[in-house]
Amino acid sequence: MSTVISMELTIGGDLSDFGAAEQAAFTDTVASELGCIAPSCIIECRFSAGSVNVESVMTIPNGDGGGGGAAAAAVASVSAAATTLASQPVSALSMSLGVTVVAAAAPIVAVGVAIPMAVAPPPPSPPPLLQPTPSGSTQALSAEFPIGLFIGVAVGGAALMILAISIRERKLRPKSTELPAATSTSSGPTKANIPVPFEQINPESVQV
């Protein structure tokens, strides 16, 4: 629930003279004169034709649900300022607001008005931080590069390295010459023809 204080002013001139920039500047001036400062007090100025009719609407939310405390103080302050401003002569009012004011109506205070308040959506949550895994990599790496494929590539690379080293050592090792093994034509022991000295020959064993 909220308390709404409205005050109507009639300004000389034409509505086409109040563009977006002029309307924003006038709204800021009225808010400053009345002490209507967000977020405790929200001001809206509604411009319409007929000279220039301006309805300034100040909405003060009842933050505690009962209208007491800070909300009640804001209502009292803004209501008193609006009454003082509207009771001024149009010449003084024109000087205060920086426009030519033709007429001003007394403010109206409405208590307990249900007004939907626009609430800004919460900011998006930040992306999750990358948590290190026991292997020293990150979860993002595990998701993009499966750990099984990583192990397979590592094992295959190690096997190729070992094979290359083995081939290189075989090429560098000197070739040994092997003698053909002697073969025997008979199954029994072979007798070597050893020459006997002439002195050891027995004459009796010599057959003519």
The pLDDT value recorded for residue 208 is 46
State in Å, rounded, how far the first CA of the chain is from the last one.
Answer: 157
Residues 157, 163, 164: CA angle, nearest 5 degrees:
90
Q: How far is CA 191 from the centre of its chain?
A: 99
Element (H, E) at 60: strand 52-61
117: left (phi over 0), alpha (psi -120 to 50) or beta: beta
The pLDDT value recorded for residue 140 is 47
User: For the chain, what is the largest distance between any 2 Cα atoms, rounded to a whole number of angstroms?
Assistant: 179
> CB of 33 within 8 A of CB of 97?
yes
The pLDDT value recorded for residue 27 is 93
Residues 55 and 11: their CA atoms lie apart, in Å, by: 11
pLDDT averaged over 10-residue windows placed end to end, the chain, 208 residues: 90 88 92 90 90 89 65 89 90 90 89 67 66 52 56 73 76 57 49 52 51
Count Cβ atoms within 10 A of the Cβ of residue 74 and give its class: 0-12 exposed, 13-18 middle, 19 or more buried.
buried
Element (H, E) at 113: strand 108-113
The pLDDT value recorded for residue 51 is 79
pTM of the model: 0.50
Residues 153 and 147: their CA atoms lie apart, in Å, by: 10
At 199 the three-state DSSP class reads helix
The pLDDT value recorded for residue 28 is 94
